[in-house]
Amino acid sequence: MGFIGKGLIEGMVVTARNFVGSYFDSERLVTVQYPEERVQVPENSRTFPFLVYDDDKDRAGTMRCVACKICEVECPPQCIYIVMDRDEKGKPQQRPKVFDIDISVCMQCQICVEVCPFEAIKMDNDYEKSQYGRFDELVEHLPDLLKSNKYYNKIKPTEASAVDAKLKAEKEKKAKKAAPTAAAKPSAAAAPKPVAPAAPKPAPAPVAKIAIPDDAPFSPEQRQWLSGFLSTISVGAAPVAGTTTPSASGAAPAEAAPATEGAPATEAPAGGWPWHDPGLGMQQRLDLAKDKPLADKLMAAMAQTDCHACGYDCRGYADAIDSGAETDVSLCLPGEAETTNMLKKLLQEAGKL
């Protein structure tokens, strides 16, 4: 080993070389003077999610999100909160009214992006998110979350162009599929999403299937959520039809106008479709449709988001399967395998498959 202190001197030579080298060698000088200099983040880099819309002029109408709540369910820390938009008559629109992401809870895991069947939610790479507060400031609402497809293409060119190509191919495929049966279902696929009024008034109580007293101190959103929640509970326990249907039929889908242009929004019968609520579980929905005709049961097996991922609304898809016009039972994206399997089972039970 030589003499005592040799190791020390060798070490000092290394430090000296690093010190001098840091003035000349970029490999040894790696510090970036942050606020003045910025490193280009890699394309894959991710921070927090945002929602994609296609057209700058009509943000709400071209939003890709259909409020199917898949991401809300799958989010590991449960930081997403979605309320589906409904028109004055309580008919679900295929877009969120409330879409909140609590970025103080979000752990940037990207699982919402992976599970989204509509390519609606994507990861941003903006890392400068500091705020002067810890609470409301860190909750991102729908307007903060909406960002254009152009922006998405700018931050993640490779990924975004692949997504665009995929969406285009899907659209063409749908259009082709719809063409032969166009007479029966006029341009169900061609019409994108119904363009809704810019600021739909929050429906007051129409969706309230369980009467919450009018003077109860709830905001319309809370009221809506509560009624959904309560109906979920009561459906399991109480004799169903009694509690849910009467009040529902009073205001809600009974006089639902054929609102959407093109896509035939099937009118609800006088009794309403008590199972037509995405908040209910599969079994609860099926229980509600127990003694109804096959088409109703089929409809109850669907995810009830009316998301048009299959090319129909939930009613239309059920009717199409029932009449034999549609043979593919795997089209319900939000319902996924659960719905597909249940549809198969119901058809088998009815001897149709």
Q: For residue 52, which of 123, 148, 143 has the smallest C-alpha distance?
A: 148
Give the pair of three-digit tokens for residue 306.
Answer: 């009316």
With 0-12 / 13-18 / 19 or more C-beta atoms within 10 angstroms meaning exposed / middle / buried, residue 332 is buried
Considering the complex, state which of residue 30 and residue 199 has its C-beta at the smaller distance from another protein. 30
Strands of 64-168 (E only): list them: 80-86, 92-102, 121-123, 139-140, 146-148
- How far is residue 227's CA from residue 215's CA, in Å, rounded to a whole number? 15
Own/partner long-range contacts of 232-241 (Cβ < 8 Å, ≥24 apart):
232/279, 232/280, 232/281, 232/284, 234/210, 235/280, 235/284, 235/287, 235/288, 236/284, 240/274, 240/287, 240/288, 241/274, 241/288
Q: For residue 234, which of 243, 245, 223, 224 has the smallest C-alpha distance?
A: 243
Q: Are 256 and 268 in contact, with CB atoms under 8 Å apart?
A: yes
The distance of closest approach from Cβ of residue 125 to another protein in the complex, given in angstroms and rounded to an integer, is: 9
Considering the complex, state which of residue 88 and residue 338 has its C-beta at the smaller distance from another protein. 338
Considering the complex, state which of residue 1 and residue 199 has its C-beta at the smaller distance from another protein. 1
The distance of closest approach from Cβ of residue 333 to another protein in the complex, given in angstroms and rounded to an integer, is: 10
Place of tokens 């309320």: 83
Considering the complex, state which of residue 1 and residue 237 has its C-beta at the smaller distance from another protein. 1
Considering the complex, state which of residue 40 and residue 219 has its C-beta at the smaller distance from another protein. 40
Q: Are 141 and 99 in contact, with CB atoms under 8 Å apart?
A: yes
Considering the complex, state which of residue 109 and residue 241 has its C-beta at the smaller distance from another protein. 109
Q: Which residues bind another protein (CB under 8 A)?
A: 1, 4-8, 10-11, 13-15, 18, 28, 30, 41-46, 70, 74, 76, 107-111, 114-115, 123, 336-338
The distance of closest approach from Cβ of residue 53 to another protein in the complex, given in angstroms and rounded to an integer, is: 23
The distance of closest approach from Cβ of residue 303 to another protein in the complex, given in angstroms and rounded to an integer, is: 12
Considering the complex, state which of residue 45 and residue 283 has its C-beta at the smaller distance from another protein. 45
Q: For residue 92, which of 331, 346, 302 has the smallest C-alpha distance?
A: 302
Considering the complex, state which of residue 4 and residue 198 has its C-beta at the smaller distance from another protein. 4
The distance of closest approach from Cβ of residue 310 to another protein in the complex, given in angstroms and rounded to an integer, is: 17
- How far is residue 279's CA from residue 249's CA, in Å, rounded to a whole number? 18
The distance of closest approach from Cβ of residue 10 to another protein in the complex, given in angstroms and rounded to an integer, is: 5
The distance of closest approach from Cβ of residue 203 to another protein in the complex, given in angstroms and rounded to an integer, is: 30
The distance of closest approach from Cβ of residue 331 to another protein in the complex, given in angstroms and rounded to an integer, is: 16
Considering the complex, state which of residue 18 and residue 323 has its C-beta at the smaller distance from another protein. 18
The distance of closest approach from Cβ of residue 129 to another protein in the complex, given in angstroms and rounded to an integer, is: 15
Sign of CA dihedral 310, 314, 319, 321: positive
With 0-12 / 13-18 / 19 or more C-beta atoms within 10 angstroms meaning exposed / middle / buried, residue 303 is buried
Place of tokens 């088998």: 348
Half-sphere exposure of 16 (CA within 13 A, CB side): 6
